[in-house]
Amino acid sequence: MADPRFFKCEGGKTLDELAKLTGSEIRMPNGPLVTINDVAPLDAARPDEISFFDNVKYREQLRVTNAGACILSPAAANDAPASTILLLNESPYKAYARVAQLFYPEQKPAKMISPKADIDPTAKIGADCIVESGAVIGPGVVIGMQCRIGANAVISHAIIGDHVRVYPGCCIGQDGFGFAIDPAGHVKVPQLGRVIIEDHVEIGANTCIDPGAGPDTVIGQGTWIDNLVQIGHNVKIGRGCIIVAQVGISGSSVVEDYAVIGGQVGVAGHLRIGKGARIGAQSGIMRDVPPGVEMLGSPALPIKQRMRQVAFLNRMIKKDTD
């Protein structure tokens, strides 16, 4: 059970309710429909709690779980204990997400706009927004409805849609790294664009997003960005992308819809990463990536080639010592 000092559980849901919510089929081995009081991980769940199974690494935990119910794919049903009620679903993690949201709806702070936030009088904040302590929102910034701006985040030169969440410590819209190199003193290039953040975007803690230099920097609808990410000026990120922690995307590059960029990846400037491309963690992208391709390595290669390269090197060092 989640620590009640931090989380409030809305317990007491029926399995029927949970199955309907998630579009799952109930497989009930032994007896009456139980009431489910909470969600819990496989190895901690009790008979009145529901868990989920979605990663084969945890198959042993599934086999011995005490969870009263478990959400899993039909293919895994045989690995659950005979006494566990199953909610069969082809997307068990997504189904779990819905269930957990039902038990633990998002909590709102007592004061929606902290008196310790510093909001410029010319900024516009939409309805039902939360602005936490120490957040600094600059002149002219526009924020849509039901956004949450984390503590000590700093936002300027930005137009933000609805349902956007900015985590603590983010820096959005401060001048990017724009200058003409000169031994007598680099010459600053005025940064005249904005940061446009579309609806339902999440931006992780201490992430930095530079505004455009002339065009705008754009983060597309439903894209999720993790902590400590750097987004350079003029970058365009499409819809539904996933950008994992500590990624750096250099100026003027384009990331098309639904691309997934693994942790610590670096993307050089003025490139295009195609729709649905997947970039493995720590890769270095120095050329355009076609849509749907999976890349790995620095410099990155299509993943099969990179795997062959790694295998080749491993063989060579074995030979080398024979």
Amino acid 31 reads: G
How far apart are alpha carbons 198 and 239 in whole angstroms? 9
Decide whether 28 or 282 has the Cβ nearer to its own copies. 282
Decide whether 127 or 192 has the Cβ nearer to its own copies. 192
Element (H, E) at 307: helix 303-321
The nearest distance, CB 112 to its own copies, in angstroms, is 15
- Sign of the alpha-carbon dihedral angle for 61, 63, 68, 71: positive
Decide whether 14 or 122 has the Cβ nearer to its own copies. 122
Decide whether 27 or 94 has the Cβ nearer to its own copies. 94
The nearest distance, CB 29 to its own copies, in angstroms, is 24
Which of 236, 231, 121, 138 lies closest to 177 in space, CA to CA? Answer: 231
Going by C-beta distance under 8 Å and a sequence separation of 6 or more, which residues neighbour residue 3?
none
How far apart are alpha carbons 217 and 136 in whole angstroms? 20
The nearest distance, CB 31 to its own copies, in angstroms, is 27
The catalytic residues are 233
CB–CB of 138/123 below 8 Å?
yes
Describe the strand order of the beta sheet including 224-225 as a list of residue ranges: 130-131, 148-149, 165-166, 202-203, 224-225, 242-243, 260-261, 278-279, 294-296, 301-302
The nearest distance, CB 226 to its own copies, in angstroms, is 5
The nearest distance, CB 210 to its own copies, in angstroms, is 7
Residue 35 token pair: 């009431």
Decide whether 15 or 141 has the Cβ nearer to its own copies. 141
Element (H, E) at 310: helix 303-321
How far apart are alpha carbons 150 and 134 in whole angstroms? 8
Torsion angle (degrees, nearest 10) of CA 202, 204, 205, 210 = -90
Decide whether 63 or 308 has the Cβ nearer to its own copies. 308
The nearest distance, CB 162 to its own copies, in angstroms, is 12
The nearest distance, CB 254 to its own copies, in angstroms, is 12
Q: Are strands 301-302 and 294-296 parallel, antiparallel or unpaired?
A: antiparallel
- Sign of the alpha-carbon dihedral angle for 153, 197, 193, 264: positive
How far apart are alpha carbons 307 and 313 in whole angstroms? 10
Decide whether 127 or 187 has the Cβ nearer to its own copies. 187
